[in-house]
Copies of this chain bind each other. A is one copy, B any other.
């Protein structure tokens, strides 16, 4: 089971579009997968579900269950202020590192309105995941200028579609 994490809680986020497209790609390849949308987290989870409250919020637990029961991940990471969205790291801060992340494998996809393709976000997030024991696929996919690439909630540019397939194949064999 591969969980695809859409790394923001912003409404109508492009990250969810990419997550859905990635899900289709994995399905085509016969790989079971599930999308985890950070918009579905309880609005006050940073206060109600972390630290002393770990495990006490049922709505948050549904998200952590997806992480705990998946063996691989795809993180779709939009660039916010030169890195990943704070909400994505806050979500990680509420997980049980050993059950959710350790000894697992993942692929990273960065997207941005600007020209960086969330490159710094992917570097930072690799550090964090490695610290948590998650192996990161070397082939990190950066998709800059995302605004110009989306048509009907999909990327149609053949170069990027090819790279998504390439990364998905690599993750399956990782």
Contact = CB atoms under 8 A, between A and B. Distances in A.
Interface of A: 9-11, 43-48, 50-52, 80-93, 97, 115-117, 119-120, 123-124, 126-140, 144, 174
Contacts of A97: 81
7 contacts: A80-B93, A81-B89, A81-B93, A82-B127, A86-B87, A126-B126, A132-B138
Contacts of A124: 83, 124, 127
Contacts of A44: 43-44
B138 A133 contact: yes
Nearest to A90: B86
Contacts of A83: 89, 124, 127-128, 131
Contacts of A116: 116, 119
B136 A127 contact: no
In the A-B complex, the 8 residue pairs with the smallest Cβ-Cβ separation, listed nearest first, are A82-B131, A86-B90, A86-B89, A43-B44, A43-B47, A124-B124, A44-B44, A130-B138
Contacts of A120: 119-120, 123, 127-128, 131
Which one of A83, A89, A138 has the greatest number of beta carbons of chain B within 10 Å? Answer: A138
Contact of A87 (B90, B127, B130, B136): B90
